[in-house]
Structure 1
Amino acid sequence: MGMSVRDVANRAGVSVGTVSNVLNRPDKVSPRTVERVRKAIDELGFVRNDAARQLRAGRSLSIGLIVLDVSNPFFTDVARGAEDRAAEDGLTVLLGNSDENVEREAAYLDLFEKQRVRGVLISPVGDSVDRLESLHSRRIPAVLVDRPTTDDRFSSVAVDDVAGGYLAVRHLIDTGRRRIAVVGGPVSLRQVADRLAGARRAAAETEGATLEYIETDALTVLQGRRVGEAVRERPVPERPDGLFAANDLVAMGLLQALNMFGTLSVPHDIAIVGYDDIDFAAAAVVPLTSVRQPSAVIGSTAVDLLMREAEAPDDFTREHIVFQPQLVVRESTMPGASGGGTPQ
């Protein structure tokens, strides 16, 4: 059983209030008493309950972060950027994985509210506005991550996914592809919907180009592989010659399926573009052309906005920061392209 402040006071022969002063305001206690109390703390192995102290003070040393899929390296990098920035202010990041599930997202929001976190960073599954408004009324600000918005009730940090989808399909068209398929989903995810909108805009600009949307249940390698196997079995006239995957995990699955029997060649028969430019993209069997997002910078910028609002909630003007994506060209669309790729 852990030792309490009262146990320390009894051992040191002082009041509980004196122990509290030593822990929180040692300048108010004589050096000899401080030494005596600290000796008692060492002898008893006392560890103070910072969580309870923070709750009493009403200021947590934690930030909540909810991501759509913790297995996606993009979100891992976002979390790392957030952690590094939070550490500069002596804060920790509590990570929740909604797994694109509304109920799990709600459970994490409930948990973070009970913990009275300093604020919440969230890449929402759907429309979480009412729930986030409730948090805000309890002085817990929220910042939307990887989700653009014009809603002035919340700050946001995102990438222009419409521009990213346009870049991807424009590149496929520029390399001679005309039968394009966009793969990924569900389309209820704002990121997927925006990337698809950009892709459609690029295809509409080119006479003779067609665009098909193949929705998946999730943005995973397995879902990409399933679609790739189906595409591989299509007759040549019905088979896309260019695939734009809504993220790199889906693109990896497509690549695996298309290369499985050696009957199709990437990019000779089918070119593939991914999205996020995760570390694995450059290391794929056929290095993957991808649309790059500044993932770690997204995380650190979101913490910046959150801390500024937490420090001045009534005077803070909410901001919407949108980064521009970059196309990194590799062998999956252009044979002989450099492995590192050059942002276009």
Structure 2
Amino acid sequence: MAGASIRDVAQHAGVSVGTVSNVLNRPDEVSAESIARVNRAIEALGYVRNDAARKLRAGVSTTVGFVVLNGQNPFFNDVVRGAEDEASRHNIAILYGNTDEDVSREKLYLDLFEEQQVRGVLISPYGDILPRLERLRSRGIAAVLVDRFGGSSRFSSVSVDSVAGGRMAVEHLIETGRRRIAFVGGPFDIRQVNDRLAGARVAAENAGEHVEIEVVATAAMTVDEGAAAGARIVSRPRHEWPDALFAANDLIALGLLQSLVVGGRMLVPDEIAIIGFDDIAFAGAAAVPLSSMRQPSGMIGRTALRILLEETADPEHIPRQTVFQPELVVRRSTDPAPRRAH
């Protein structure tokens, strides 16, 4: 069969494309039976490995660039650590860049990684990054989106279902008796913020009873912005206070706690419940232990690095979207609302 591709080999052998790639590049990770099936298919089809393209893609670099959205967020530190743990198994070093939600800094790091001809790039993007990643690919540098669903794009991605997470968070608040819920987060240029709000609205619509979702926007996903949002909320007349807050991430949630609890302005959870997103290490150690939607941060990093190495080793690798499900972690900040005397 002239011009047989790796997909043809996989179909003939009755295995996945990833298995064929492992047989060609990491046979120690594949069973003897799979190796035999793939080798028979290669012989039958006359498949010739495209080493020139593979070398163009992989190069000789032993470094991978990792661009994160917010280096202040311990969630991203844990994701990078997961990638580093996996990279060390392959004698690869991670070059790390923090964009701090700034498009110009994002461009700066990508330009640097392109100049350095890194083996590949992992990126948690701020805006529309796909045209820039296409340019990297044309230079033989593979890229994988991290903490961002790639949809039907030509790039692999590793993410968490933020819409499901937002829905689960608000469903939990509703179950504890809350009905006036404020979503606190921003900026809305960040896809995850929009997805978590969308999930919150789905939960409210599905509640079968009147549940309000208001939006309290923040300029960034930081503790300071959360504290400022909390101050704005308690400056309202008391009858306009929400009875629950769903923060777009744990840093915002911790800022809300700082403003509402440490300042002695409001009782959490008696007067107001708070839930965050990420379940960073500080969440359980907060003044009021914080409920949160847990993301498998280390696994996200390890998986993204594995996929990136598969793509640098195999130019015909088919992009895939890996989506993890978040887990609800319940702590004291969302204890059930107390019954009010009538």
TM-score, structure 2 as length reference: 0.80
Question: Deviation per CA, 1:196-220, whole angstroms, max 9, x where unpaired?
Answer: 0000111112221100011111000
Question: Which of the residues 270, 286, 308 maps onto 1:306?
Answer: 308
Runs of 4+ in 1 over 4 A off after TM superposition: none
Contact kept in structure 2, 1:67 and 1:123, CA below 8 Å: yes
**Which residue of 2 is the match for residue 324 of structure 1?**
325
> Does 2:91 match 1:105?
no
Q: Distance in 2 between matches of 1:261 and 1:276?
A: 24
Q: Distance in 2 between matches of 1:68 and 1:212?
A: 26
Q: Report percent identity of matched pairs.
A: 58
Q: Distance in 1 between matches of 2:330 and 2:236?
A: 27
**Which residue of 1 is the match for residue 213 of structure 2?**
211
What secondary structure is seen at the aligned counterpart in 1 of 2:182?
Answer: strand
Q: Distance in 2 between matches of 1:215 and 1:234?
A: 16
What's the offset of the Cα at 1:260?
Answer: 3.3
Q: Distance in 1 between matches of 2:273 and 2:90?
A: 45
**Which residue of 1 is the match for residue 28 of structure 2?**
none
What secondary structure is seen at the aligned counterpart in 2 of 1:287?
Answer: coil
Q: Distance in 2 between matches of 1:187 and 1:87?
A: 35
What's the offset of the Cα at 1:333?
Answer: 0.4
Q: Distance in 2 between matches of 1:316 and 1:205?
A: 40
Contact kept in structure 1, 2:167 and 2:202, CA below 8 Å: yes
Q: Structure 2 matches for 1:130-279, cutoff 5 A?
A: 130-206=131-207, 207-279=209-281
Question: Deviation per CA, 1:146-178, whole angstroms, max 9, x where unpaired?
Answer: 000213410000000000000111111110000
- What residue ranges of structure 2 are gaps of 5+ in the alignment? 1-55, 338-342
Question: Deviation per CA, 1:276-295, whole angstroms, max 9, x where unpaired?
Answer: 00000000010000000000
What's the offset of the Cα at 1:60?
Answer: 0.7
Call closer, same or farther: CA 1:335–1:210 in 2, change over 3 Å.
closer
Contact kept in structure 1, 2:177 and 2:336, CA below 8 Å: no
What secondary structure is seen at the aligned counterpart in 1 of 2:246?
Answer: strand
Q: Distance in 2 between matches of 1:211 and 1:241?
A: 11
Counterpart residue type for residue 304 of structure 1? R
Question: Deviation per CA, 1:73-129, whole angstroms, max 9, x where unpaired?
Answer: 000000000000011100000000011111100110000000100000000000011
Question: Deviation per CA, 1:291-318, whole angstroms, max 9, x where unpaired?
Answer: 00000100000000000000001x2011
Contact kept in structure 2, 1:61 and 1:118, CA below 8 Å: yes
What secondary structure is seen at the aligned counterpart in 2 of 1:332?
Answer: helix
Q: Distance in 2 between matches of 1:261 and 1:82?
A: 39
What secondary structure is seen at the aligned counterpart in 2 of 1:219?
Answer: coil
**Which structure has the larger Rg?**
1
What's the offset of the Cα at 1:244?
Answer: 0.2
Contact kept in structure 2, 1:59 and 1:116, CA below 8 Å: no
Q: Structure 2 matches for 1:2-81, cutoff 5 A?
A: 58-81=59-82
Counterpart residue type for residue 275 of structure 1? F
What's the offset of the Cα at 1:263?
Answer: 3.6
What secondary structure is seen at the aligned counterpart in 1 of 2:334?
Answer: coil
Q: Distance in 1 between matches of 2:197 and 2:117?
A: 38
What's the offset of the Cα at 1:236?
Answer: 2.1
Q: Distance in 2 between matches of 1:166 and 1:249?
A: 20
What secondary structure is seen at the aligned counterpart in 2 of 1:211?
Answer: strand
What's the offset of the Cα at 1:335?
Answer: 6.8
What secondary structure is seen at the aligned counterpart in 2 of 1:309?
Answer: helix
What secondary structure is seen at the aligned counterpart in 2 of 1:256?
Answer: helix
Counterpart residue type for residue 128 of structure 1? I
Q: Distance in 1 between matches of 2:186 and 2:229?
A: 12
How many residues end up aligned between the 2 structures?
281
TM-score, structure 1 as length reference: 0.80
Q: Which is bigger in relative contact order (C-alpha 8 A, separation at least 6)?
A: 2
Q: Structure 2 matches for 1:275-294, cutoff 5 A?
A: 275-294=277-296
